[in-house]
Chain A
Amino acid sequence: MAARAPETLSYGQIREDLFRPLSPFNSKWIFTCLAAFVFVVLGLVAWGFQLHDGMGITGLKRPIFWGFYVIDFVFWIGISHAGTLISAILRLTDAQWRKPITRAAEAITVFALMIGGLFPIIHLGRAWLFYWLIPVPNGRLLWPNFRSPLVWDLTAILTYVTGSVIYLYLPLIPDVAQLAKVNQTWRKKIYRLLSLGWSGSDTEWHALERAMKLMACVILAVAISVHTIVAWDFAMAISPMWHSTIFGPYFVVGAIFSGIAALMVVMSVIRRVMHLERYLTWRHFNNLALLLLLMSLLWLYFTASEHLTVWYGNEPSEMGVFGARVRGPYAPYFWAMVILNFVVPFILLGIRKLRTFTTATIASVCVLIGMWLERYLIVVATLGNPRLSSAHAVYAPTWIELAITAATFAAMVLLYMIFAKMFPIIAVWEFKPHPHEDD
């Protein structure tokens, strides 16, 4: 007998299915968490060494002062676009198929932002002086330089984190209220506290729906601005292949691209691990795969525009970076990036017969690696090939940067696993079509 479409199931059944993965911790969950935790601890140890010995123990040397930390920062901020942009766009366009994926996406946003937001502090070296970025007059009566893109970053990321946490929390309230009713463990108190006494009255539903619509509009504008500002960290510098007017939209496209890829990887894992095959169906993967394919084409368009204008301009310092990227020491990374970001998704997702759950996940993993390489090329190739040709250098990260980078991926896994064990990863109350909605 064919399984019933989840939309036709009763709320009781949906709740049972989606609350089941929250049941007691099993050994696999504990083992994975412990493994991730070990990597996080290793990263913290590496950071401890860096704080103790100074930035000299990293691979960051003149003229390459931005390395893995800035690459990771841009990468994670890019991943954070999974939730807000995808969820907000689909919510505003009233796309019904979004329902099982929005919370998974919004959670990625919050955790990716928390991780990405750490990198400027790690990169400061003297991390304990991070408050110098906050606009309070210090001992020398100086205010921060508001013209600095780093202060822009701080403002933008604070706004984005605040917005993303609220955007994740608001639709969680009705589900948490249900959990407070049914859960009989130590979590009950947490759920009750988080539910704010939600009773399901029409006043509460009206306020929630209105707030979600408005938040979707605002968060969309914030998400676009945040990655544009991250792009301006580069574009405001008069450095070869950074000082570009299209860097803002180029970065936003890249961020949405990697965000969708991250969402597909996460969905693929939770679908299998939490046995949510009935809820995360081929329809969701297929739609996201097509979005990923579209973003791949857009990414190629921006990359080609960026490189073609530089090549045509033939400006010596720009051509130095261009040459290093396409035929010099960075060429393997460059062509790997093109293959991973365009060729693989184009073949696996563009040819209908090849588009399956597995190939969509493979293409997404390739895009994540490819987008990390893109950020590596942007940061390192330019800094390693400055205008002064005698200052050319090569960047080699030490174990410190590698350990901290690995720790951030482990932290993402750890945070996500804890979240998925505490809260339903699919919004129960949003799942069924509401009376006013047409699919």
Chain B
Amino acid sequence: MKPKNTLLEKLEQTLASHDNETKEQTIANLRAKGINTDALIAKVRATVQKGYSAKLKKIVEGEKSQISQKPNRFGNLATLTREAMLQLVEQLRSGAMGAGFQQAVVARCRNKQPTELTEDELRTWLEDLGELPDDSE
């Protein structure tokens, strides 16, 4: 087996290393060899911008899905239908699950009825409610 990092390879690496050279010097050397550095830089900028946006979007989506799949005291809200969530709200409003929840639901319903909320809004609201201190016991 050929040993790794022979002296010749070290020489190659040393010759190839221009870490202290300015970008302008490197660009001048590349242009002398017919390399279109302007086009390359423009392509790389576009790729980085696009790649960054895509990766950021993926992270945000992952975080959202992580939150909605997190089971709380009302169960796994991600799997509940809109109807099931509305039934749950009615239970909370009736006080069956404690006065704290009842007050929170009544206060919330002064501004908007649960039936007017979208499925996502309902789920988010129930997630927030699930974080309230439990006074039902």
Q: Do A and B bind each other?
A: no
